[in-house]
Amino acid sequence: MDVQKILSAVVCIFVLASCGNKSPSTVFPENGAMDSSACTGQAIQNKFIVQWEDGKFTVEQAANADEFTKNFIEPQLEKIRYVEFDRQIQTSKTDGIQANAYSDSWGQTKIGAPSLWAQGIQGQNVKIAVVDAFVDTSHPQIKPRIAVNTAEIPNNGKDDDGNGIVDDYYGASFVSIPNNNPTPSSHGTHVAGIIAADERYGSVQGVAPRAQLIPAQFIANDGGGSLGDAVLALQYSASRGAKIINASWGGAPCVASLRNAFVELQGKGILVIVAAGNDGRDVDVYPEFPASFGLANQITVAASSVSDFMTSWSNSGFNLVHVAAPGERILSTVPGNSTAYMDGTSMAAPMVSGAAALLWSARPTASALQIKESILQSVDVVPGHEFKVKTQGRINVQKAFEVLKQLVP
């Protein structure tokens, strides 16, 4: 299956510093309380996620929490909204590559994408961020779809556009945790291809084959990463003009900063598509994050099978998982000018991201909530095939377009 967290999910209490009586202990409540935290083993003791009062995030380092409090928080207390330990996330290895072949675009066909392609609706002018592992921007089906940062001069070792990122011409990497695996993960490239692979240059046709992709890597080749790096990747995606962010991964529990980052995206009108996870759990009962945040700008996605049933391994939830989408035996791009079949809710989520891009390209003035509502109101619910999700159905972008035309004439 695809990349997902292996940490146990627990119910998280999100704490924000109060507007009044601000002190180092109110903006950094974990310091001194780590012994009782269920997340003690996940915390990186010398790395800290800082949310500033203007809503921006940074990731800072110090020898320990006490030194960080004294030398960083106290001198800047009035500018800081919230501080939290960064945490490692160790994701499972990708093991869903399938050798046997199926209809190359069964998922795209099942959700009705070809009918919109025939009308010239192919995701034009919509930017989707792939916040994930490595995306092979040299792949012939991916390269034409990259949202190039023309304010940056590639490979000159300089931050030409002054955004704090050097050489982010084809996207950016926020991986800070070292790993010794030289082989790029297939995960991010596979996700990117499901969304927007250009069919003119290979065998895969993305759901939105004229959309633009913003690669924002935070997962290393070995499947490890940091939630602080994830927050920075989300923030970067917003700064690059992403309308949609695809999050085909799961995070550690008890992290308010990740939820706060999603809230900031909500305020910017960005739609976030999240994989439900592959543990076969009900995330209403056993929360996983970010799948269980339940924010207004979020669609959490379960996986449907070739036979249009819920897969046995997909997470579910009648409250917090919204829709199902094809996630079994999905053909897409992988590094090295190649393709492969993979399984997972990580494959289902980009089906929805691509569908949202089609809808937004057809109705550019629509809001994120209108795009979401059109998708949720138009699912296919087949008797005997009902899904354990809020809508009980699998997405149908053709029907969603008809709904959206009523919301945004």
163: burial class by Cβ within 10 Å (0-12, 13-18, 19+)? Answer: middle
- How would residue 222 be classed by pLDDT, with cut points 50, 70 and 90? confident
Return the pLDDT at 264. Answer: 96
Catalytic residues: 132, 187, 346
**Strand 224-226 relative to strand 212-217: parallel, antiparallel, unpaired?**
unpaired
pTM over 0.75: yes
The predicted structure's pLDDT at residue 42: 73
Q: What percent of the chain clears pLDDT 70, i.e. is strictly above it?
A: 88
Give DSSP secondary structure letters for 174-234: ---S-----SPPSHHHHHHHHHH--GGGSS---SSTT-EEEEEE-B-TTSEEEHHHHHHHH
* Overall average pLDDT of the 236-258 stretch: 88
pLDDT 10s digits, 53-82: 999 999 999 999 999 999 999 999 999 999
CA-angle at 199, arms to 196 and 203, nearest 5°: 110
Output the pLDDT for position 334: 96
Write down the pLDDT at residue 34. Answer: 46
Q: Does residue 100 surpass a pLDDT of 80? A: no
Q: Are 190 and 340 in contact (CB under 8 A)?
A: yes
CATH superfamily for domain 106-407:
Peptidase S8/S53 domain (3.40.50.200)
- For the ranges 114-128, 169-183, 274-288, the lowest mean pLDDT is seen at 169-183
pLDDT of 232-243, one tens digit each?
999 999 999 999
Predicted pLDDT at 88: 84
Q: What is the pLDDT of residues 326-377, one digit of tens each?
A: 999 999 999 999 999 999 999 999 999 999 999 999 999 999 999 999 999 9
Mean pLDDT of 275-293: 93
pLDDT tens digits for range 173-217: 999 987 778 889 999 999 999 999 999 999 999 999 999 999 999
Residue 135: pLDDT over 60: yes
pLDDT of 6-40, one tens digit each? 333 333 433 333 345 889 999 999 886 644 444 44
- Nearest alpha-carbon partner for 144 in 196, 74, 78, 204: 196
Closest CA to 323 of 287, 348, 288, 305: 348
pLDDT value of residue 256: 87
